[in-house]
Structure 1
Amino acid sequence: MSDQPYIPTLDIRRFDTDRDAFVAELGAAYREWGFAGIRNHGIPQALIDGAYDAFVAFFALPEDVKKRYHVPGGGGARGYTPFGVETAKDSKHFDLKEFWHVGREVRDEKYADVMPANVWPAEVADFREKALALYNALDDLGSRVLSALALHIDLPEHYFADKTDNGNSILRPIHYPPITADDIPNVRAGAHEDINLITLLVGASAAGLEVKSKKGEWVPFTSDADTIVVNIGDMLQRLTNHVYPSTTHRVVNPPGEQARKPRYSTPFFLHPNPDFVIDVLPNCVSADNPSRYPESITAQGYLEERLREIKLK
């Protein structure tokens, strides 16, 4: 038996066939790691591949074309964010990546001031169609994971449904260009925690993702191609009073010739509705785990605070 720390991967079909055991195992994985793999998720590989083809086509466009889709003053909320902008909190060096943001297409008008309309690249004909198909599939899968987590902490199964149905959730296709210089201080994505409720990562089958264990060890998490990696974000950590930890993770530069190849990944950041109040859940407070957050904050207020920290605002 290997002593190597192991981040569990679970079959989400068991949520329908073996619910109590699945909820217990998933909850235990998140309490320990803040991360788990989800397989047999039902999202067709053709849908994922089609979206990736559209994203790769966009990132292959000339720099001046891509920069037309950068929204000045938009904090990267929609459209294109160029290489060398985002910087992990407390890091001295920017991440080695460029990315695009797709937001919720059908929006409640009361959120229009904080949820801008999407931007679409005219040069990639099927970008909108493919991106929204993946967005909606991951949104649905995220709702199933949240239902299981709700049951694990003795909340109603659909507790999160009306709190995320207009969530300011983001699909982020990322391109990490080839690294052509040795001994640079930057990494593809510096050590960080995510801001949102949960993150669903499509395309973690390429090496590079590492998760920090409770002992402080960096544990590689390279999933099988049919597995989506799902991790806890800071909003859910705060809401559950750290019952579910938002775990530090990073994307390291690969060794040798592997560094000369591009890397693509697409996380989906599932957010609550902008006016959702993040206040510690009473059933996550105990004598052993007193409330760490005496003051509440709206999801939008928290998001803006964090975007400033990572230099997107």
Structure 2
Amino acid sequence: MKSKFSLLYLQGNKCFYIGFFFLCCMVVVKEMPRVDISTQPSNFGKFVDRAFRDVKPVIVSGFDPELDRTARALMDDFVNFSELPDDNKREYCYPKLAGQFGFTPQDTEQSGYAGGKDSAGGKLQEHREHFMIGSQLPEGHPLLDICPPFIYFDAKNAVGFPFPDMVTNGNRLVELVEDARMRMYAGLEQARGLPPGSIAFIVPYGTTVVRLHHYPGIRGDIVKEYEVNGVKAIDMLLPSGELKKGLVYAADHTDIDCTAWLLRANKPGFAQRDKTGNVERFTAGKDYEGSAVVNVGDYGKFMSNPDWTLGAAPFGTVQDGGYGSGVHWVEINTETMQDPRFSIVAFGHNRPTVVVCDKIDRIVRPNIASVVRRVIPEVDRRGVRESEALYARLAEIGYLGSTEAERLENLAGMLEALRPLPSDREVVKEILGWERTQPEDSPYKGRLGQFYERRNT
């Protein structure tokens, strides 16, 4: 006969196992899709293509170890830069270019996109500052004569900068990311049966940029925690007595590039909504170390529609089975918010001269398209370039100034600098010819040509 104690023990054990079973059923750990860049190109491309169609980011690993070493060194220098007094940091702030050049202080820019009822951006307050570093073109490169002056912070603009290695490492990181982007796009071409170079030659010399984010530590009393359209936010009473409402690290937004590469982050916070409306939140550390979280933007649909005839879908949507930029944001971790958060993101934009798109009204909202028409009233509708739409989009989300007059002035200057431009065919021909003249040990020897040589063999 079993004792009362034994029965209680068995019943307790039973309850424990039943409870444990239900706990296991309730807790589902979602892993972000992962793939090694050294995977056979067509298989690699199929994996990435599937994730992008589902509006999901993908973790890509297997890069040249130099990429991770360079990102580490760059992060160390940026941490030191972030500790400078605000007045010193503001010496490298260029308000007229509002965030696309050098340093951008807090309260200058909002990521929140103008997405109507699905956007929380207008109700949230970002807590961050950042620094932009672009690539440099080698002396004599054809794009130096073709492109407008680069507005990204590079070594030419870094005279007297207190951390010169930060700029050098940033320039090098851009080159390494561009090489990785070309490999990714070549894989997508093979997976989709596209001619070599259809997507890969989107990667330009000079329009990939590294953005270094600093989310300063926050001290105060949390008054309220809540969600706005799925975005976690907090109201906080600061020691000064100021009440900060709707604090996030970065508000919800879509991307205006081709792909964004999250290379490092010392703390979690990244979250994204997929095409089904499901929100996934990801950890730091294991997700980013030695790899990159790659998110598709595909602004202008140059990847979805590589024949470049279908125009673009509205922001944040997927059209005709193509790619779409998922709405994503960075939340404040209330457990570790007293310590700063740092991250490095590389944005890969379209090449400086892009294919003619005769459907600008589908790329930008009609009111912004009308701004473009007012700035350049004589523009041939069939000759509007996607770059102009991109700058119009920058104006829309506040990159180009806070008032309409500022936006029109800055936009007019940028658009004027873009014209007249040669055709893409002419640009490619110039670059291929220049590459052939480079020494055999030059990193630019055949860099773009490899895709066209494959096409012709």
* TM value normalised by structure 1: 0.86
2:136 equivalent in structure 1: 105
Distance 1:229 1:278, change over 3 A: farther
Work out whether residues 196 and 233 of structure 1, in 8 Å CA contact, stay in contact via their aligned partners in 2. yes
1:9 corresponds, among 34, 38, 43, to 34
State the Cα distance separating 1:262 from its structure 2 match. 0.6
Work out whether residues 266 and 343 of structure 2, in 8 Å CA contact, stay in contact via their aligned partners in 1. no
1:54 equivalent in structure 2: 77
1:274 equivalent in structure 2: 352
1:180-236 C-alpha deviation (Å, 9 max, x unpaired): 232231210011111011111111463100111222122012314122011111416
Correspondence list, 1:128-277, <5 A: 128-181=167-220, 182=222, 183=235, 184-204=245-265, 206-222=267-283, 223-235=287-299, 237=301, 240=304, 242=318, 243-256=322-335, 258-277=336-355
Alignment-mate amino acid for residue 91 of structure 2: R
1:100-127 C-alpha deviation (Å, 9 max, x unpaired): 1112311522212464663326211422
State the Cα distance separating 1:165 from its structure 2 match. 2.2
Gaps of 5+ in 1: 281-291
Q: Which has the higher mean CA deviation after the structures are superposed, 221-230 or 267-276? A: 221-230
Asked if residue 89 in structure 1 is aligned to residue 113 in structure 2, the reply is yes
Distance 1:159 1:167, change over 3 A: farther
Asked if residue 35 in structure 1 is aligned to residue 114 in structure 2, the reply is no
Q: Distance in 1 between matches of 2:54 and 2:325?
A: 10
SS in 2 for 1:70: coil
SS in 1 for 2:275: coil
Cα RMSD after superposing both structures = 2.6
Runs of 4+ in 1 over 6 A off after TM superposition: 292-296
Alignment-mate amino acid for residue 308 of structure 1: A
Q: Distance in 2 between matches of 1:133 and 1:116?
A: 14
Q: Distance in 2 between matches of 1:53 and 1:272?
A: 29
Q: Distance in 2 between matches of 1:117 and 1:251?
A: 24
Q: Distance in 2 between matches of 1:193 and 1:10?
A: 23
State the Cα distance separating 1:161 from its structure 2 match. 4.0
1:279-302 C-alpha deviation (Å, 9 max, x unpaired): 59xxxxxxxxxxx76988523212
Q: Distance in 1 between matches of 2:298 and 2:345?
A: 15
Percentage identity across aligned positions? 24
Q: Which has the higher mean CA deviation after the structures are superposed, 154-163 or 83-92? A: 154-163
1:79 equivalent in structure 2: 102
State the Cα distance separating 1:13 from its structure 2 match. 0.8
Work out whether residues 264 and 343 of structure 2, in 8 Å CA contact, stay in contact via their aligned partners in 1. yes
Distance 1:69 1:250, change over 3 A: same
Q: Distance in 2 between matches of 1:224 and 1:76?
A: 25
Distance 1:132 1:116, change over 3 A: closer
Higher helix proportion, which one?
A: 2
Q: Distance in 1 between matches of 2:150 and 2:77?
A: 27
Gaps of 5+ in 2: 1-24, 115-120, 138-142, 223-234, 236-244, 305-312, 365-380, 401-457
State the Cα distance separating 1:55 from its structure 2 match. 1.2
Q: Which has the higher mean CA deviation after the structures are superposed, 114-123 or 65-74? A: 114-123
Distance 1:278 1:4, change over 3 A: farther
Distance 1:221 1:238, change over 3 A: farther
Task: Please tell me whether Structure 1 or Structure 2 has the larger radius of gyration of its CA atoms.
Answer: 2
Distance 1:220 1:116, change over 3 A: closer
Q: Distance in 2 between matches of 1:267 and 1:236?
A: 21
Alignment-mate amino acid for residue 270 of structure 1: G
SS in 1 for 2:177: helix
Alignment-mate amino acid for residue 108 of structure 1: L
SS in 2 for 1:108: helix
Q: Distance in 1 between matches of 2:152 and 2:248?
A: 30
Alignment-mate amino acid for residue 113 of structure 2: K
Work out whether residues 260 and 295 of structure 2, in 8 Å CA contact, stay in contact via their aligned partners in 1. yes
The structure with higher relative contact order (CA 8 Å, sep 6+) is 1
Q: Which has the higher mean CA deviation after the structures are superposed, 102-111 or 208-217? A: 102-111
1:252-310 C-alpha deviation (Å, 9 max, x unpaired): 01023x01111111111111123203759xxxxxxxxxxx7698852321221221222
Work out whether residues 173 and 266 of structure 1, in 8 Å CA contact, stay in contact via their aligned partners in 2. yes
1:115-142 C-alpha deviation (Å, 9 max, x unpaired): 4663326211422222112121111111
Distance 1:150 1:95, change over 3 A: farther
